Amino acid sequence: MIQFSLKCDRDHRFDSWFQNADAFDTLKSRGMVSCSVCGSTQVDKAMMAPRVAKTRGADEAKPAPLSTPATPAEQAMAELRKKIEAESDYVGGDFVKEARRMHEGEVKARSIHGEARLDEARKLAEDGVPVMPLPFLPNRKAN
């Protein structure tokens, strides 16, 4: 894996990971690399500083996360996600069934989030069940 600093034609700067340098070139040529801020596909590599590994010591600080939000909008989105995940229950693929059960009074109402197909979510809204799409995908555990 390699991390590139990128910038779009509107001078938005952001970082992204790729399998290798050829993968970036291939994806770019197919129009599959886009700006994380404005969505422009006119993206090029920006000037990057070399990354030099430090020796690990007992007093070394906790390493930084692999990626941090690059813009205030991304920061706000990360905070929104954290708040939603902390204050609601993830019900996964049972979202439609659970939302409908709460709406019909079969179970006590609570804040939930999960996954639903577009047609299922539309049907919930048409039936008066208060739902809204979230601007992010749920975290899924591999195992």
Q: How would you write the chain as a 3-class SS string?
A: CEEEEEEECCCCEEEEEECCHHHHHHHHHCCCCCCCCCCCCCEEECCCCCCCCCCCCCCCCCCCCCCCCCCHHHHHHHHHHHHHHHHCEEEECCHHHHHHHHHCCCCCCCCEEECCCHHHHHHHHHCCCCCCCCCCCCCCCCC
pLDDT value at position 49?
A: 66
Q: What is the pLDDT of residue 54?
A: 63
Residue 106 confidence (pLDDT): 95
pLDDT reading at 72 higher than 70: yes
Provide the pLDDT confidence category of residue 142 given band limits of 50, 70 and 90: very low
Examine the pLDDT at 143 and tell me if it is beyond 70. Answer: no
Longest CA pairwise span in the chain (Å) = 60
In Å, what is the CA distance from 10 to each residue of 32, 38, 113? 17, 8, 35
pLDDT digits (tens, 9 = 90+) for 78-136: 888 889 989 999 998 999 999 999 999 999 999 999 999 989 999 999 999 999 888 87
pLDDT tens, 13-61?
Answer: 888 888 888 998 999 999 899 988 888 899 998 877 666 666 665 455 5
